[in-house]
Amino acid sequence: MLRMLKQIIRVGSLSETLAPSDQVEQLGEKLRESVRKRFAGSLTIRAVDAGSCNGCELEIHATNNAYYDIERFGVHFTASPRFADMLLVTGPVSINMRRALEMTYEAMPEPRLVVAMGDCAIDCGVFGRDNYAIAGAVRDIIPVDVQIHGCPPTPSDIIQGILAAVESR
């Protein structure tokens, strides 16, 4: 236990020591404001991999690490679509995931914000539209509010995209 405390004290708070000019910090401040105003201080996201290669998932995980710490802005991920304000979708929508994606979307309460994250979610990326196994890009299947480019998008791009979606409604 003492060693753990020592380690925690030694490492300190990484998210606090970000340079003031850091893009994420500024975004974050704006995000906290939007989340406070529009979602009573708490925005809840359900992430769905609709056919991703897992690259995007790694970067979503990174938004939760000590450097980006997206939770300090009131943004967290949930297991149930019933509690979710936002659906964060990665990957081209595979024909085998199409139904599960639609069901997740239908299970959400309004306003059902949807963010399509990554080049695959936007236009099927490297896997291509002319592909028997791909049902389409995310917006071909469900309505999309914001798209985040990148293969995969960086954690700060993801936070920026979430902000844009919150502001869009």
Partner 1 sequence: MSYPTNTWFAERLGDAGIRCDYLKGHRPAHMPCLEIMRLEWAHAAAEARRLDMRLVALWAAEAGPNDPGNAPLYAYMAFAHPEHRHVLLRTPVQTELPSICAHYIAACRMERHMQDMFGIRITDLPDDRPWIRHEHWPRDAYPLRSAFDAQRPLPHEDHGDYAFVRADSPGVYEIPVGPVHAGIIEPGHFRFLAVGEQILNMEARLGYVHKGIERAMQGRSAEDGLRLAARVSGDSTVAHAWAFAQAAEYAAGIEVPRRASFIRALLCERERIANHIGDIGAICNDAAFTFMLQQMHRLREQMARLNRRIFGHRLLMDSIRLGGVAQDIDTAAAAELAEQTERIAREVEDLRAIYADHPSIQERVVGSGTVSAADALDLGLLGYVGRASGHYPDERIEEAYPPYDEFKVAIPKGKLGDVATRVWVRFEEIAESSRLILAMLRALPEGAIHTDWQAPPAGISGFAAIEGWRGEVAAWIRLGEEGRVDRYFVRDPSVINWLGLELAVRTVPVPDFPLNNKSFNCSYSGNDL
Interface residue list for partner 1 (CB under 8 A): 3-4, 7-8, 11, 14, 47-62, 64-67, 77, 79, 81, 91-92, 94-97, 99-100, 104, 125-128, 130-136, 151-152, 154
**By C-beta, is 133 or 169 nearer to partner 1?**
133
C-beta atoms surrounding 106 within 10 Å: 10
**By C-beta, is 26 or 78 nearer to partner 1?**
78
Residue 82 CB, shortest distance to partner 1, in Å, is 12
Residue 66 CB, shortest distance to partner 1, in Å, is 5
**By C-beta, is 1 or 40 nearer to partner 1?**
1
